[in-house]
Amino acid sequence: METPLTPLAFARRTRKLYGDREGVVDGDLRLTYEEFFDRCDRWSSALQAMGVGRGDRVAYIAPNTHEQLESFYAVPQIGAVLVPINFRLTAEDFVYITSHSGAKILCVHPDYVAAVDDVRDQLRGVEHFVVLGKADGRKGWREYDPEIARAGPSFKRADVKEDDLLSLNYTSGTTAKPKGVMITHRNAWMNVVDTLVHFHITVDDRYLWTLPMFHANGWTFVWIITAVGGKHICLPKVEPARVFDLVRQEKVGWLCAAPTVLISLAGASPEARGEVPGGVHVITAGAPPAAATIERMEGELGWEVTQVYGLTETSPFLTICEPRPEHASMPAADRAVIKALTGVEMIGACELRVVDGDGKDVPADGQTLGEIVARGNVIMKGYYNDPEATKKVMGDGWFHTGDAAVMHPDGYAEIRDRIKDVIISGGENISSIEVEGVLLRHPAVQEAAIVGLPHEKWGEAPFAYVVLKSGASATEAELIAFTRERLAHFKAPHGVSFVPELPKTATGKIQKFVLRKGAAAIVRQ
């Protein structure tokens, strides 16, 4: 006897066991799980009344609100496919993703209604526009809450198969048009259960939404927290002072964030921090965190940081930097270096290798660079309507991540860069991540990004973009000397540009292509 693997099963269990417990907090709104799931059911009913059926796409442009969280249950339980869109994209991107996905319904937070209204004539495939708030007199918009209030709680639940599409999650599209990653019910279920094997989250835990829900389905925490009957604390905008306030007020025990968000929290002023409760568990991914950042989070805030690694295409987790008993007795700085490693395969996720250009495993010497490839239960079904791109990354039976890494003798992988970001200077490979990690240890440096720029002699050389801490100062010569003292000289930046901020994606990844494109001068010796 088999039943399909789907994260919708977690909703059934939690409603049965924890229906009377508070499950969702969004500003002043507080919902029990029964109230939350009743809203989900009513929205499912409303969607079906609008003609949404099995396989139809329902797209959302929204920050971390309870309405966005409801979409991860209301849409898939009628067999439809959720399309969560990065709300920080342009109107042109909204048109492309909505049209490419074939979305029948588009649900939009009030903050983005004007942007969508400007391009509505280009969204001919959308049959209904829904505002997740008040329409304020705008024509052609349905209002979400009145639709829920009118709808009954009964709807026709779909007979979901585990290979059915659950969501279409679009990549950032930094070098080409965004690609629609097809995530199945099985993919998501595997990531939820695998995460819970490694992280002991319980019914008493409160989770703060510092990670965008649209990003790889909120790393599946939209279902993980529900699965254990924990509490979702919604946060539409990440501001350090607000994060610390909610950690105190709601007794938050868990959050996920990219390293750039961790940097902003660690660098927050004493006024923004206030009294910081210790013991918060932080899961970080999206880019390799610097050891210095981990050391600050654990030493100054008393929070425990664990790195995981994956991609939107892998549902998203592949590895965890799994702690070992012997790590506990290490000095904090040495332990932080280990915690900055990419880690080992998660138990149920995949088989992971680091291979050379011929597909052979590189030596586990911590030095030889190769590409991370993986296969397993969390790998996407493919790119929607793009068989050529799918074949390119999965054609040999392994998913090729595009991440350059080394394998250590103890089985821990370590990402050194995106393959496209590895700097080749005079025939030597330079990891931008390694150089950034050193710069982040300078007391004046808040953030740093290293990119390769053209060089007359070496072909390419590292160049640094640096954001200084508030009130701090440093010179170009000082930072170059600082890195030369700690790295082989050829790895040190050949120039430093001080900037007020670094360009980032909505999930906190530094957009290095923007930095390279904006560099006007050739780096000289």
List, in order, residues 6 or more apart from 118 with CB less than 8 Å away. Answer: 91
- CA torsion, ordered 160, 163, 167, 171, to nearest 10 deg: 180
Sign of CA dihedral 74, 76, 80, 86: positive
- 254, two tokens: 């868990």
Residues whose CB is less than 8 angstroms from the CB of residue 254 and which lie 6 or more positions away in sequence, other chains included: 199, 201, 205, 206, 207, 208, 230, 280, 281, 282, 283
The answer to whether residues 342 and 415 touch, using CB atoms and an 8 Å cutoff, is yes
Note down pLDDT in tens along the chain; length 525 residues: 889 999 999 999 999 999 999 999 999 999 999 999 999 999 999 999 999 999 999 999 999 999 999 999 999 999 999 999 999 888 999 999 999 999 999 999 999 999 999 999 999 999 999 999 999 989 999 999 999 999 999 999 999 999 999 999 999 765 568 899 999 999 999 999 999 999 999 999 999 999 999 999 999 999 999 999 999 999 999 999 999 999 999 999 999 999 989 999 999 999 999 999 999 999 999 888 889 999 999 999 999 999 999 999 999 999 999 999 999 899 989 999 999 999 999 999 999 999 999 999 999 999 999 999 999 999 999 999 999 999 999 999 999 999 999 999 999 999 998 888 889 888 788 989 999 999 999 999 999 999 998 888 888 899 999 999 999 999 999 999 999 999 989 999 999 999 999 998 766 788 888 888 765 333 333
What percent helix, strand, coil does the chain show, rounded to 5? Answer: 35, 25, 40
Q: Is the peptide bond before 323 cis (omega within 30 degrees of 0)?
A: no
Task: Give the list of residues 6+ apart from residue 47 with CB closer than 8 angstroms, or none.
Answer: 58, 74, 75, 78, 80, 105
Q: How far is 436 from 445, CA to CA, in rounded Å?
A: 10
Which residues are bridge partners to 343 per DSSP? 413
The per-residue pLDDT for 24 is: 98
- Can you give the pLDDT at residue 173? 60
Cα–Cα distance for residue pair 227/10, rounded to 1 Å: 5
- Chain-centroid distance of CA 52 in Å reads 28
Q: Give the C-alpha separation, 212 to 68, whole Å.
A: 10
Q: Where are the beta strands (DSSP E) in 262-356?
A: 281-284, 304-310, 317-320, 344-345, 350-355
Whole-model pTM: value is: 0.90
What is the pLDDT at residue 523? Answer: 39
Domains recognised in the chain with CATH numbers = 33-184 (3.40.50.12780), 238-419 (3.40.50.12780), 422-518 (3.30.300.30)
Contact, 394 vs 400, CB < 8 A? yes
**Whole-angstrom Cα distance, residue 129 to residue 147?**
12
